Chains A and B, each alone.
Chain A
Amino acid sequence: MARMKFLCDADRCIECNACVTACKNENEVPWGINRRRVVTLNDGKPGERSVSMACMHCTDAPCAAVCPVNCFYTTADAVVLHSKDLCIGCGYCFYACPFGAPQYPKVGNFGSRGKMDKCTYCAGGPEPDGSAEEFEKYGSNRLAEGKLPLCAEMCSTKSLLAGDGDIIAQIYKERVAKRGYGSGAWGWQTAYRESIAT
């Protein structure tokens, strides 16, 4: 099976936020929750870069390790998913996540967090593929339809790449070789304990 990854080519990202919008629309993400976001570094200064970030679907995922109810699981494609039926909204996955991916809808009074929501790599959840219950809780299951996550698919500059880690790494390497520069695969060292040699 493939080992699915995200790769954001920061030298191409123009901070158009189309990935964010695409994600929200495709998955009908609840109000106030962003599964994907664009962060601009050195904003307005020389060397400014924007990076689109969501759950990186880490190898040996920290969220899964610290979850007190063990609601996370990893699919055969190495996508890290979770069950909203098991989540108790404790917030620990957010403390452990290096990428700030887990989000909690604000329900009820003071700190009561709802069921955690995060990027599913457009791969739904534990419910049957493509079912109404799955869509209701996790959004679209494009992976089951043979499609890649919509954020990467509709990236206007093809900065955001999704797919098998080896293939997108190869695409990135070729790009870097051709244009002569590249600021690296952001988050890969943290998420996958490997970086792309360019």
Chain B
Amino acid sequence: MAKLFAWGRFIAGALALAFMLAVATPVFAQQINPTASAVKEQQLLQELSKIQGRGSIPDVKSYVLEHPAGRDWRHWHEVTLRWLGAVAILGTILLLVIFYLVRGSVRIERGRSGVKIVRFTAFERFIHWMTAGCFVVQAISGLNITFGRTLLLPLIGPEPFTAWSEAAKYAHNFLSFPFTLGVILIFFMWIGGNIPNAVDVAWAKRGGGVIGHDHPPSYRFNAGQKAIFWIQVLGGTAMVISGYLLIFPFYGTDVGNMQLAEIVHAVIAMLYIAAMLGHIYIGSLGMEGSFEGMGGGAVDLNWAKQHHSLWVEEEMSRSEGQARPMATPAE
């Protein structure tokens, strides 16, 4: 009896299933396309600009399946950056050459007095040249990454160019440490004399004595030098931060952040190099007697009076009774 009942239930069940299938099949056939609900490449790219999923290996970066933004970065790196760098650097050099030809070197108008006044201590000069040395090596090795392939590689061939570029890369990375130290020390060493004030406005209005032949008064650092100080401190800090993000890749950054870090690093580098070309010009060829301050540490008194009259007065009043800042020439 139980057996018969079981059979009856089976037949009833089979009939019910057959009926359901007969009714449901046309609908089911329409729904069989599994891609209807599946993720779609173009849709994902439009939504997020990158496609990210889950992977099974420890490398989290590899979970990004597709990131077409690399194409924009490529265009930036290959076209935009090269134009920006070439215009900024060659443009600055061209302006400096024209300026030198028109204005010439800024002379010490009353000639050398033969008396020297201490401008930078040995420590200040050491920090300056340490930072400057790092800067020059890093600028050249950095420019090599942007322009070397186009300018240098065809001249020296692939293998020597790789040997040079690899050494330049290591120098660029390792010199970042003394450079960082230099940026920090320069900030604390010279911040006292580099707060902009009313004297700077007057100085700038009178062309700073560089444009024209005026000699507006100035304390230890004039507005132009203050500008270089702030370019060094702020530009240097931006270079250091973006640079360490690049040296330590993917420590808390993803590929988009790395691209951004490279863009920041490269843009500021080009402008920074251009600004420093101006600094190098005025500290050497562009002005008689200015190199001595950072070279030997002492400048001619007449140079100081011409360019930093208020600073000389300060030093004079401070040193009354003691001859510290006055020094006879070493030679």
A binds B: yes
Checking A47, A69, A181 against B39 with a beta-carbon cut-off of 8 angstroms, the contacting residue is: A47
Q: Is the CB of B41 within 8 A of A69?
A: no
Contact, CB under 8 Å: A43 / B149: no
Pick the interface stretch among B73-81, B207-215, B293-301, B304-312: B73-81
Cβ contacts under 8 Å, B56 to chain A: 15, 17, 38
| Given A66-B77, A96-B77, A190-B68, also A41-B62 (CB < 8 A) | no
Return chain A residues, CB-CB under 8 Å to B65.
39, 41, 51, 53, 99-100, 186-187
Beta-carbon contact of A69 and B71 below 8 Å: no
Q: Which of B17-49 contact A (CB under 8 A)?
A: 32-42, 44
Question: CB-defined interface of B126-151 with A at 8 Å, one 1/0 digit per residue?
Answer: 00000000000000000011101100
Contact of A86 among B38, B66, B73, B159 (CB under 8 A): B159
Contacts A90-B145, A181-B35, A183-B35 given; does A69 touch B165 at CB 8 Å: yes
Among B95-103, B108-116, B198-206, B254-262, the stretch in contact with A: B254-262
In whole angstroms, what is the CA distance A18 to B73 when docked?
33
Q: Which of A100, A180, A190 makes the CB contact (< 8 A) with B62?
A: A100
Closest to B32 in A: A180
Interface-facing stretch out of A109-117, A134-142, A151-159, A167-175: A109-117
Q: Is the CB of A11 within 8 A of B38?
A: yes
For the complex, count residues of B whose C-beta is within 8 A of A: 58
Q: Tally inter-chain residue pairs, CB-CB below 8 A.
A: 167
Known: A11-B35, A40-B55, A68-B149. A190 touches B66 (CB 8 A): yes
Q: Is the interface of B mostly helix, strand, loop or mixed?
A: helix
Are B249 and A69 in contact, CB atoms less than 8 angstroms apart? no
A residues less than 8 Å from B40 (CB atoms) = 183-184
Q: A49-B38, A184-B40 are in contact. Are A39 and B55 (CB under 8 A)?
A: yes
Using a CB–CB distance below 8 Å, which chain B residues touch chain A?
32-42, 44, 51-57, 59, 61-71, 73-74, 77-78, 144-146, 148-149, 153, 158-159, 161-162, 165-166, 169-170, 173, 246-249, 255, 258-259, 262
By a CB distance below 8 angstroms, the chain A residues around B247 are 110-111
> Contact: A69 with B78, CB < 8 Å?
no
| A85 adjacent to chain B (CB < 8 Å) | yes
* CA gap between A48 and B40 in the complex, in Å: 10
- Interface membership of chain A positions 50-77, coded 1 if the CB is closer than 8 angstroms to chain B and 0 otherwise: 1101000000001001111111000000
Q: How far is the CA of A97 from the CA of B259 in the complex (A)?
A: 11
For residue B59, give the distance in angstroms from its CB to the closest CB of chain A.
Answer: 7
Closest residue of chain B to A20 (Cβ to Cβ) is B57
* In the bound complex, CA of A111 to CA of B159 (Å): 23
- Within the complex, what minimum Cβ distance (angstroms) separates B122 from chain A? 33
User: In the bound complex, how far is the Cα of B162 from the Cα of A49, in angstroms?
Assistant: 42
Residues of B within 8 A of A53 (CB): 65-66
Interface hub of B53, B67, B144, B259 (most chain A Cβ within 10 A) = B53
Is there a chain B Cβ closer than 8 Å to A105's Cβ? no
Partner of A39, one of B53, B69, B146: B53
Q: Please tell me if the beta carbons of B41 and A95 are within 8 angstroms of each other in the complex.
A: no
Task: Select which of B37, B41, B73 is within 8 A of A47 by beta carbon.
Answer: B37
- Whether B70 and A97, one on each chain, are in contact in the complex, defined by CB atoms closer than 8 angstroms, is yes
